[in-house]
Structure 1
């Protein structure tokens, strides 16, 4: 009885392996897949590349602020600071 069960399982594996071989042969003979990217996708890729190349820090503004802090002339209005802080917290 045990041998019969083994034979049945072996037959199942042989049939599924044969199906996989014939299916892979069919997909290979059908041709190649092609991908077409829309113009919007191309534009998005171009814009993303431009942003990646741009500097994260605007050195001219940072240098100006650093010089004003060092000279002691950099003044921050408490009202402006509070307004920007609240706008940041409000967007969270």
Structure 2
């Protein structure tokens, strides 16, 4: 899961706040049940929506690597690979 979509979260949060105020003005009826969602719940909903809209695959990076592989210029440092592999096994 990617948690780097801060701008998207901020945009969704602002649009969500605008919608909530207009809906509150329209539904000012008497004798109706009301539910209030905490600000933490609203923040969670906005963040979840932003993460679900964000792409899981970075297409620009994938295209660059594919082009370098096709051209035969893509090289992986064996030391870097081994370090990352060992650090992943250390987290298990």
TM-score, normalised with respect to structure 1: 0.62
Query: Structure 1 stretches (4+) deviating beyond 3 angstroms?
Result: 32-35
Query: What root-mean-square deviation, in Å, do the aligned CA atoms of Structure 1 and Structure 2 show?
Result: 1.7
1:52-74: per-residue Cα shift (whole Å, max 9, x none)? 00111010000000000011100
1:17-65: per-residue Cα shift (whole Å, max 9, x none)? xxxxxxxxxxxxxxx8754321011001100100000111010000000
Q: Are 1:50 and 2:46 matched, yes or no? A: no
Larger Rg: 1
Unaligned runs of 5+ in 2: 1-31
Unaligned runs of 5+ in 1: 1-31
Within-5 A mapping of 1:1-92: 35-92=35-92
User: 2 CA distance for matches of 1:48 and 1:87?
Assistant: 29
User: 2 CA distance for matches of 1:64 and 1:91?
Assistant: 29
Q: Which has the higher contact order (CA 8 A, sep 6+)?
A: 2
Structure with more of its chain in helix, by fraction = 1
Aligned residue pairs total 62
